[in-house]
Amino acid sequence: MADEGTGQAVGDLELHLVGLPAGDDPLGPREPAVLAVAPLLRELILAYTRAPRDGGPEHGRLRAVLLDQLRVAPQRPLHLPTPTAPGLVRLWEILRADPADDRTLAALDRQVGASSRTLSRLFRSDLGMTFPQWRTQLRLHHALILLAEGMPVTVVAHRCGWSSASAFIDVFRRVFGCTPGAYRGPA
């Protein structure tokens, strides 16, 4: 069930790939990462991927600045691990279908067929986080998809299980460092 190392794009997309030798990777040999791309980094990526690769000094300088900007680009902190333990897989299916489902683990355990204590232990051992932490990550992940599809922030907040738009905006800002509207960009 785990999909480590894969990504998914939602909404309009223009893809520019920058391949770097492992020794030049400014992020180092880690897990895949999602970076916040500031306007300068965005323009550097566009210029680097559109410029002819002639090996000239201009291309080398562009590459050096691109690597510098990649080194300092903040990483987006959202990581949604996919469960592999059978009881958690069923729970994941239920909550993925309806992220706004606000039942407690004790209320969900009957539907999953495992006690809430067992499920709590599985969350820590299989996913490395608690149920509330994982549910928040699941909701934020779903919110990003809805925002990319152009859904209004208030609708996203309620579809993802927040009691109010302001509660959603507060959590989103703490996790991503900006509001949902700023994250989505101009409509």
Query: Residue type at 85?
Result: A
- At a CB cut-off of 8 Å and minimum separation 6, what does 18 contact? 45, 48, 49, 66
Given a contact cutoff of 8 angstroms between Cβ atoms, the answer to whether 160 and 152 are in contact is no
DSSP 81: P
Instruction: Determine contact, residues 2/82, Cβ cutoff 8 Å.
Output: yes
Domains of the chain by residue range: 22-72, 86-184
Q: Report the top-level CATH class of 86-184.
A: mainly alpha
Cα 55 from chain centroid?
Answer: 35
* Residue 123 DSSP code: I
Give the pTM: 0.70
| pLDDT tens, residue order, the chain (187 aa) | 334 445 566 666 677 888 777 777 777 656 666 777 788 988 999 999 887 777 788 888 998 999 999 888 877 766 788 899 888 999 999 999 999 999 999 999 888 888 999 999 999 998 889 999 999 999 999 998 899 888 999 999 999 999 999 999 999 988 887 889 887 765 5
CB 33 within 8 A of CB 75: yes
